[in-house]
Structure 1
Amino acid sequence: MQEYRPWTKRPCIGAAGCLGVRFDAGPADRHPGADGPVTGGLLLEHFWWGSVFLVNVPFVIVGVVAIALIVPESKDPSPGRIDPFGVLLSIAGLSLLVYGIIHGGETNDWGSPAVLGPVLGGIALVALFVIVEARSSHPSLDVTLFKNAAFSAGAASIGLVFFAMQGATFFLAYFWQAVRDYSPLEAGLLVVPVAVGIALAAPRSAKMAARFGTRVVVAFGMTLVGFALGAYSFVGRDTPIWVIEIVVFALGFGMGNAMAPATEAVMSAVPRARAGAGSAVNNTVRMVGGALGVAIMGSLLSASYRTNLGDAVDVLPSAARDGAGESIGGALEAAGRLAASAPRDALALVESAKDSFVDAMHVTAVGAALVAWLGAIVAFMFLPRRPVAAAAPAERDDVGEEPAEAASTN
């Protein structure tokens, strides 16, 4: 998309807006969009869970062929070599960090060596990765791009909004299916308003940014995301669906306003020859933000749920208590096995598990909202006031320096 139009007339926000409404097929705890969760829910009702991944393969093949035939070539004139050490460092660091966070949420024992070891080891490896990449002549992740304030602020905004959104949609899937007893397909249909909100806001965000300024539009979008996430802290087991759907739509509308202008800020800070590197960093930040959001918010959800459930699991055999205390799915499964011998105890466990999950969801929603509002502050303080027209490659030899237009708009 960066290279498909003439450099001096590049409508990056429009391209990013269109990109913003593309979603993967998968269950409702994946990126919430129009076709992805619905298709995923339909597949889960009739096929093995792995079908949500396999269904993407034909589309990927068609996409690869189409790119090879249609998209013009663009590449860095000095591409460098592959950086296997950097790749391994990043994989090891992020894997350890995410594992430690998830394990801490499962056990609710954050001081144990099994939790602290992976977390601290992951942080150390990520820090080493940054140092190695900064000194490498052929980095897998060009950290020098972050010298540009607009690039860094845009990337941070994208990472934080995906952190908050993925952390929230993680609990929303359980809420629909485990608490409200909807099927996977129904749960997928219930997140369609997110895609509608994004589809309405993202393509129009270019005009909004030109009129009100990039920082204002992105900050507004992330503030709205925060309010939408915070609204989940008032959602209960009997809240009318239409009320929740308004909140879901607001979440998508806020994301549509935040993602496209933030992506434009990132890509406008990168020279044409390095557009691929800028796009790679943008996608990496998005994926890492989402992964950490699921890990951290999921751990907060799990820890809160376990605390709220308390001794309600005492009606179960000792061997089944840990599983019921770790997740609402485990509790419902255990209650199903208990129903034959002790139906009243099973029903009491189901009610306690659902109430405990809703209370934990409220805590997690507030945490996700705070992250989104942090992103709004970052966007308002550091993004340029106006969309920056990308300069031609000859005018942008040093990506570490702020372009003249950006300096004049800050």
Structure 2
Amino acid sequence: MTVSAPAVPADGERDPAGAGAARQWRIVAVAVLAQTLVLLDNTVLNIAMETLADPVRGLGAGSSDLAWAVASYSLVFAAGSFAGGALADRYGPRRTLIAGLAVLAAASLLAARSPNVTALVVTRGAMGAGGALITPATLALVTRHTSRAVRTRAIAVWASSGGAAVALGPVVGGALLAHFWWGSVFLLNLPVAAVCLAGAAFWVPEARHPGGRVLDLPGLALSVLGLGLTVYGVIQGGRRPGWSSPVALVPLAAGLALLALFVVVQRRRAQPSLDVTLFAEPRFAGGSVTLLLLFLGLAGQLFSCAFYLQGVRGLSPPAAGAVMASAAGGIVLGNQVSPALTRLLTVRWSAAAGILLTSATFAGFLFFDAETPVAWPVLTLFAQGAGVGLVVAPMTTEMMAALPPRYTGAGAAVAAAARPVGSTLGVAVLGSVLATAYRRAVRPALDGLPPASRSRALDSAEATRALARKLDRPDLLAAANRAYLHAMYVTAVWTALLSLIGAVLVIGYFRPREPTLGAQRGHRTAPPADPADGG
């Protein structure tokens, strides 16, 4: 028997007013748990990197293979989020959420049984398709089915799901890897998805706008191909022979051209999959780019940190997971403090403070080496999470408040896509910087090795260490660690600089001004969540 929740008016301002607080928070709870599941699939793989790179315990994946295993999820997630937003607007966020949970659960089961890296990349992409349906639906649910009195706090709780995922991913993933094979990290999704499906069936009401947007399949194809080719070119640039190779330049140029064509096509369509005129609202546009840059730096930093803790420091997966989980406490703290700080300093300056704090922690990795006490990475990651938490909730609230109700799904799709697009580019771009810097630093230590061994050792620090152990070359093992530290320092500098651009955008875009999108479209524009917003 199918359980159907009662339908409610599409405008989230009417239903919440008559709904009790308990009902609103039950809906928020389902949305937060589902969103935690989506973000968990990004973080849980970080702790499994070292295992997947091992030819015995894992799949013998190289650095570019690992980058694709991470990027395929975020890539499909990002490209599909536009479609997810359109589906949420047309068919309702409840139905879209249920469909996404079913897709993610099925793909997780297949990912756990992947026989090789190629199969893992494909199934991770399918998991990303499920996430692309879930995330816009969860944010649309929180926005539509909460009253203005609790919406800012509800979005802060929704944003805190990132902290929960950062905490649970490394810790639970590390515990599973200590007792089971690497595929067990994906089976964790199945019981969580089952709980979310039950909650959606019984507690989440139906709600959709009449005459919602249709799915623009040609536009979706352009976005998927454009993002895919762009990321592929960036990843290839990090491999030999480098950025000057046609293997990197051709797909990169083609991807950027397709993305430009996507924007042109969307501007001309009456019912686009991504309404690019949403970016006519300066705060929505500035917030989107700021979130993208923030998660670009965060994903790239966590990618390099996982290898530092397990490779250079020699920590076990559970121990490394416990260290990386410290960022979760910071994210939760930052999210919960952000509403009060925003009232005190405004969105503009509280977000700028969060970005500056995060940038400082990125640069803090310049002071880490093989002998650094573990307490320092713990404190640094905690502060890093706090900086992220100060930005995400108020920025998301401000972005969604700038849009008319019927564009809630579309706005949620863009806000949601900023995370996976940023994460995808972070792993691809900063992962390429890491790989390129490592090869340059370790190459002199490989002189005298046979060509085949030398080529294999250049793939990654893990491959160099495996070769050093096989040849009983402690000097080569030490050289691999020194080269990786150098590569991590180079990556930390670029991460901090890219993050600082976000602070400049926040200060520039979030000056006091009236929203313009509603006037341009002839719709009512929701007021800011707090009169102090904007600085």
Would you call these one fold, judging by a TM-score over 0.5? yes
Question: Is contact 1:44-1:51 (8 Å) kept?
Answer: yes
Instruction: Work out which of the residue numbers 291, 297, 305 in structure 2 matches 1:164.
Output: 297
The two structures, once aligned, show a CA RMSD in angstroms of 2.6
Find the partner of 1:195 among 324, 328, 343.
328
Partner in structure 2 of residue 28 of structure 1:
none
Q: Taking structure 1 as reference, are residues 399 and 75 closer, same or farther at Cα in structure 2, changes over 3 Å only?
A: farther
Gap change, CA 1:128 and 1:330, over 3 Å in 2: same
Distance 1:372-1:409 versus aligned 2 partners, 3 A rule: closer
Match of 2:353 in 1: 220
Describe how 1:150-161 pairs up with structure 2 within 5 A.
Answer: 150-161=283-294
Query: Is 1:316 aligned to residue 435 of structure 2?
Result: no
* Paired residues of 2:178 and 2:317 also in contact (CA < 8 A): yes
Is contact 2:226-2:254 (8 Å) kept? yes
2:493 aligned residue: 366
Aligned residue for 2:412?
A: 279
Distance 2:347 2:522 in 1: 20
After TM superposition, the structure 1 = structure 2 runs for residues 34-113 of structure 1, keeping only pairs within 5 Å, are: 34-113=167-246
Kept after mapping to 1: 8 A contact 2:360/2:496: yes
CA separation in 2, counterparts of 1:359 and 1:408?
42
Match 2:161 to one of 18, 22, 30: 22
Cα distance in 2 for partners of 1:257, 1:370 equals 19
Would the aligned equivalents of 2:159 and 2:393 in 1 still touch at CA under 8 Å? yes
Provide the C-alpha distance between the structure 2 equivalents of 1:177 and 1:408, rounded to a whole number of angstroms. 42
Where 1:270 maps in the other structure, the secondary structure is coil
Q: What secondary structure does 2:143 align onto? A: coil
CA distance in 1, matches of 2:248, 2:176: 36
Is 1:208–2:341 an aligned residue pair? yes
Measured after TM superposition, the shift of residue 108 of structure 1 is 4.6
Cα displacement string for residues 354-377 of structure 1 (whole angstroms, at most 9, x for unaligned residues): 000001100101111111111011
Tell me the alpha carbon deviations over residues 238-286 of structure 1, each in whole angstroms, 9 at most, x when there is no partner: 1111122211111011001011111111111112222121111111111
TM-score (norm 2): 0.69
Cα deviations across residues 71-100 of structure 1 (Å, max 9, x unaligned)? Answer: 233323331221111111111111111111
Counterpart of 1:398 (choices 513, 521, 525) is 521
**Relative to 1, partners in 2 of residues 1:379 and 1:132: Cα closer, same or farther, differing over 3 Å?**
same
2:496 alignment partner AA: A
Summarize the Cα distance change of 1:207–1:301 in structure 2 as closer, same or farther, 3 Å threshold. Answer: same
Aligned to 1:11: 151
The answer as to 2:426 corresponding to 1:299 is no
- 1:378 maps to 505
Q: Could you list the runs of 5+ residues in structure 1 that have no partner in the other structure?
A: 26-30, 340-345
Q: Which runs of 5+ in 2 are unaligned?
A: 1-141
Which whole-Å CA distance do the structure 1 matches of 2:433 and 2:351 have between them?
27
Give the paired residue count. Answer: 392
1:293 shift after superposition: 0.8
User: Is the 8 Å Cα contact of residues 271 and 397 (structure 1) preserved in structure 2?
Assistant: no
* Structure 1 residue runs of 4 or more that deviate by more than 4 Å after TM superposition: 399-410
Distance 1:322 1:401 in 2: 61
| Distance in 1 (alpha carbons) for counterparts of 2:525 and 2:251 | 38
In structure 2, do the counterparts of structure 1 residues 53 and 383 end up closer, same or farther at CA, with 3 Å as the change threshold? Answer: farther
Mapped partners of 2:220, 2:461: distance in 1: 36
1:144 equivalent in structure 2? 277
Q: Which amino acid aligns with 2:387?
A: G
Letter in 2 for 1:37: P
> Shift in Å at residue 137 of structure 1?
2.0
Q: Distance in 2 between matches of 1:119 and 1:131?
A: 19
CA distance in 2, matches of 1:194, 1:374: 22
Deviation readout 1:38-85 (Å, 9 max, x if unpaired): 111112222232222221122123213312321233323331221111
Contact 2:361 2:381 in 1 (8 A): yes
Query: 1:397: how far off?
Result: 7.9
8 A Cα contact 2:343 2:532, kept in partner: no
Matched ranges for 1:219-368 at <5 A: 219-339=352-472, 346-368=473-495
Would the aligned equivalents of 1:148 and 1:400 in 2 still touch at CA under 8 Å?
A: no
Task: Supply the AA of the counterpart residue of 1:197.
Answer: G
Identical columns (%): 36
CA distance in 2, matches of 1:407, 1:117: 48
